[in-house]
Amino acid sequence: MTRFLKGVALGMAAALFLLNPKTYSRDEKVPKDVATKKNPVASSDAVLAKAKTAYEENCLMCHGETGKGDGPMASMLKEKPPDISDPKTLGELSDGEIFWIITKGDKAAGMPPFETKFSEEERWGLVHLMRSMSNTKPSNNPAKR
């Protein structure tokens, strides 16, 4: 595919995400059993490598190569993606809360849901990648809101 067609396809995918009503908003409570759940997938080089490929194909366009929120699509969004390479951004969230936003997205901000695109195992693998990219530790203590 040419770069241009790829751009058009990404734009159309984004429009579909934004029209999808079944997403989470950051103001909504994450179900307690999810927010306090320990990551059921053990981290390994293989899990991280698989998550990295998934990130490059599905997340980098918005979040950017290192997670700074400077991907090629970032400027088209209602809200600039937060800098997930800064430990402060994910530091106070539990693994379950990170899992939840990857699962449900955030419609108001423009983050698509990945509930049907990735298996639960793959989403927990992405949580490990988020921990590694943000230089934060696994946690099952939800943020106080």
User: In 10 A of CB 113, how many CB atoms?
Assistant: 18
* Coil, strand or helix at 58: helix
Minimal CA–CA distance to 60: which of 76, 46, 72, 77? 72
Using CB under 6 A, which of 7, 77, 85, 115 touches ligand HEC? 77
What is 81-103 written as a DSSP string?
A: PP-TTSHHHHHTS-HHHHHHHHH
Question: Using the rule CB under 6 A, is 34 a contact of ligand HEC?
Answer: no
The answer to whether 110 contacts ligand HEC (rule: CB under 6 A) is yes
Three-state DSSP class for residue 111: strand
- From 1-9, 30-38, 42-50, 101-109, give the range in contact with ligand HEC by CB under 6 A: 101-109
Q: Which residue stretch of 32-40, 41-49, 98-106, 137-145 sits at the interface with ligand HEC (rule: CB under 6 A)?
A: 98-106
Q: Which residues bind ligand HEC (CB under 6 A)?
A: 14, 26, 55, 58-59, 61-63, 73, 77, 79, 81-82, 84, 89-90, 98, 101-102, 106, 109-112, 114, 126, 130
